[in-house]
Amino acid sequence: MKEEEEELLVMEAEAEHHQLHQPWKWRRVLHTTSSALLGLALLVFSGAMVLKFTSWSREGALDSSDPVLVDLTLVENATEKGAVCLDGSPPAYHFLEGFDSGTDNWLIYLQGGGWCHNVASCNARKYTRLGSSNRMERQVPFTGILSNLSSNNPDFFNWNKVVIRYCDGASFSGDVEETNQNGTTLYFRGERIWKAVLEELFLKGLATAKKALLTGCSAGGLATYIHCDDFKALLPNTETVKCMADGGFFLDVKDISGRSYMYDFYNDVIHLQDVGTRFPNCISQMDATKCFFPEEIIKSISTPVFILNSAYDSWQVQNVLAPSSSDPSNSWASCKLDIKKCNSNQMKVLKGFRAALLDKITDVKQKKDWGIFIDSCFVHCQSPMNILWHWPNYQRINNKTIAESVGDWYFDRREVKEIDCSYPCNPTCVNDGS
């Protein structure tokens, strides 16, 4: 059958230039699929609130309903505690109530969106939805792990679900009392936002949760590693507390020019927002910047964690491995956007990146209650996307979707340590780019 083009819009951290503080946006992703007739149009998080979703496939109609749109709630009284966004506005979240057997279960999702690393970039962010609740969308669609449909989200569809909006620029982990940053007013209060929003959710029923899952993607995935044990400690009466970090395993690797680009960037972030104090045990052994990388954070986490990450995380390829400033001749431009266009030398670099990730999680393989899903698809942030989270024939390892793998791990149905064969072995991949 003739190949049809399937058009998808995928939410991910914007990957332009060498910046690591770009806002989330919806990026157009094209990929081809044989035989299926698919019409998909998603429009989300871009300021627009319209969302249309229709699909047909060989497997039959999957789901033609619009995803649920969930209102923004401002936490006005958090401002008394100084728990505010970069611009001083109150923090915010989206809450979708659980039902039936999910009534007492809570899924908390920390939004991502890069970081700001100096006064200028944080000041610019202050005028965006990643730095001010005045700029945030008043409704967002809940899809993938946030969906309330069992067909899209078999294990968590009926749980209480909360998306905590990211507006502090440092993965919910900075805390600086001073608001005058060299003459510019900026609030670095991510740690206080985390606490204040959870306090508010406690009053809504989180305090008596039977099961809880902390999750998030990208900068929110990093925040998931950072706050996992805090989350567990806040819920002493909850029978099961676990954490699932999606696309948050940022690596301390050298980029294509030999620079430690990510290390230098994180070094700025953690000094600007005084994040090092969050890791008292780690900073007694090494410098604070290293302590901000998941490879160090996971060493001290005692709560069960599921590591969901692509071995060729597209955002890390674009921003950590081959930032534009390290590629003056632009020789990585097409490979960065589409893994199929990488030449053999570039593939070698990507394979090295995969090997570095696998090396950093070696110990995790021995931990019975931890989970792993490291696929070889060229993507970033898989759990909030219907087609990547749980879809016939897509994004599978050993014929299991990410949703099935995370569910099996969460509910102890089997030990989940899925590590994909290397690119391009997995025919189920939906990749960014092509």
Ligand X SMILES: *[C@@H]1O[C@H](CO)[C@@H](O)[C@H](O)[C@H]1NC(C)=O
* x-marked contacts with ligand X along 295-334 as a string, rule CB under 6 A: ----------------------------------------
Longest dimension (CA), the chain: 64
Segment near ligand X (CB under 6 A); pick from 170-178, 196-204, 216-224, 315-323: 196-204
Write the binding mask 120 to 159 for ligand X: x where contact by CB under 6 A, - elsewhere: ----------------------------xx----------
CA dihedral 229, 277, 181, 12 (to 10 degrees): -40
181 binds ligand X, rule: CB under 6 A: yes
Q: How far is the CB of 149 from ligand X (least distance, A)?
A: 5
Least distance (Å) between residue 298 CB and ligand X: 30
Smallest Cα–Cα separation from 123: which of 164, 180, 177? 180
Q: Is 77 or 434 the residue whose CB approaches ligand X more closely?
A: 77
- With binding defined as CB under 6 A, does residue 36 bind ligand X? no
Residue whose CB is less far from ligand X, 22 or 147: 147
Of the residues 34, 182, 284, 362, which one makes contact with ligand X according to CB under 6 A: 182
CB of 338 within 8 A of CB of 434? yes
Residue from 1, 61, 203, 425 binding ligand X (CB under 6 A): 203
Mind telling me the catalytic residues? 218, 313, 380
List 200, 252, 295, 375, residue binding ligand X (CB under 6 A): 200
Q: Which of residues 271-300 bind ligand X (CB under 6 A)?
A: 272
Please pick, from the candidates 9, 51, 119, 364, the single residue that binds ligand X as defined by CB under 6 A. 119
Task: For strands 305-310 and 240-246, give the pairing.
Answer: parallel
Answer positive or negative: Cα dihedral of 43, 44, 50, 55.
Answer: positive
Cα distance between residue 63 and residue 66, in whole Å: 8
199 is a contact residue toward ligand X (CB under 6 A): yes
Stretch that binds ligand X, among 195-203, 207-215, 224-232, 246-254 (CB under 6 A): 195-203
Q: Contacts with ligand X: how many residues (CB under 6 A)?
A: 13
Cα–Cα distance between 360 and 338 in angstroms, integer? 26
Residue 303's Cα: distance from chain center in Å? 19
Distance in Å, CB of 352 to ligand X, minimum: 31
Q: How far is the CB of 334 from ligand X (least distance, A)?
A: 34
- Closer residue to ligand X, CB minimum distance, 242 or 390: 390
* Burial of 350 (C-beta count, 10 Å sphere; 0-12/13-18/19+): buried
The H or E element that residue 405 is part of is: helix 402-410
How many residues are there in the chain?
434
List 61, 302, 399, 425, residue binding ligand X (CB under 6 A):
399
Closer of 34 and 182 to ligand X (Cβ): 182
Per DSSP, the residues of 304-373 read -EEEEEETT-HHHIIIIIS-GGG-TT-TTHHHHH-GGG--HHHHHHHHHHHHHHHHHTTGGGG-TT-EEE
- In one-letter notation, the amino acid at residue 15 is A
Q: Give CA–CA dist 339/424, Å, rounded.
A: 9
Q: How many CB atoms lie within 10 A of CB 189?
A: 30
Closer residue to ligand X, CB minimum distance, 218 or 289: 289
Specify the stretch interacting with ligand X by CB under 6 A; choose among 33-41, 103-111, 199-207, 210-218.
199-207
Q: Whose Cβ is closer to ligand X: residue 23's or residue 392's?
A: 392
Cα–Cα–Cα angle for 385, 125, 71, nearest 5°?
45
Question: Which of residues 77 and 208 has its CB atom nearest to ligand X in the complex?
Answer: 77
Start-to-end CA distance of the chain, whole Å, equals 19
- Interacting residues toward ligand X by CB under 6 A: 68, 77, 118-119, 148-149, 181-182, 199-200, 203, 272, 399
